[in-house]
Amino acid sequence: MISQWLYRVPTVLKWFYPSWYVWDKKASGTKTVYLTFDDGPIPEVTDFVLDTLSRKHTQPIPATFFCIGENIHKYPAVFKRIIVDGHAIGNHTYNHLQGNHTSTKEYIENTHLAQLEIAKYIDTSHNELASKLFRPPYGRIKKEQASILRKRGYDIIMYRVIGYDWDARVTPEQCLKNITHKTKNGDIIVLHDSLKAFKNIQYALPRAIDYFLKEGFKFKTL
């Protein structure tokens, strides 16, 4: 379990997890960061994120969206926009289940339901935007659950940098600092296109993008 207020996951913590959990993706030759967004799609919030990624800069900023199946079902137009804008898609279960509080059978079935929802809009067997990426809600998943998903072809995507954008105790300024402070080449950053995170994201996301570009980072999808 990742501790509260640990805005950068230390290397030593990774040792407690199977080696095939993806926490970062080191890139050679250029500094790279990976923006990821959990919990959408949500009208207005996801739209703001997409607007920021596409309009603020001379070239669109690519990102990876880990979507909740129920939200895809509720807001298909917003989900389609993520696809049209060329971002990568990942699975975040159908009902945002916490793995360590859910039976393995229910968890796997719920993840499959989310993948079926994704597949309504993307050919998951042939489309590179829909490679089987999975992020466990809350960063919590039982070893057995992760092992089964791995055998079913999913990459388990974690993160190195945590913005705490959803936490009402975190100011927009602190959220920005969480995102940018000590970020390194290859880091995966977790943010949220959710109502709880909206205030912090509105302030922090455009400024974080400006910061990384100024520091010579490139953005990539997972």
For the chain, percent helix, then strand, then coil, each to nearest 5? 40, 15, 45
Tell me: cis bond preceding 60? Omega within 30 of 0 counts.
Answer: no
Ramachandran assignment for 5, one of left (phi > 0), alpha (psi -120 to 50 degrees), beta (any other):
left
Phi, psi values for residue 208, rounded to 5° = -65, -40
- What is the distance between the terminal CA atoms of the chain, rounded to a whole angstrom? 23
Active site residue 38: yes
Distance (Å, rounded) from C-alpha 217 to C-alpha 209?
9
Q: Catalytic one among 87, 165, 192, 193? A: 192
Q: Catalytic one among 24, 38, 39, 193? A: 38
Question: Is residue 35 a contact partner of residue 64, using CB atoms and an 8 Å limit?
Answer: yes
Three-state secondary structure of 133-179: EECCHHHCCCHHHHHHHHHCCCEEECCCEECCCCCCCCCHHHHHHHH
Using alpha carbons, list the distances in angstroms from residue 4 to 18, 172, 178: 21, 17, 13
Active site residue 51: no
By annotation, the residues acting in catalysis are: 38, 192
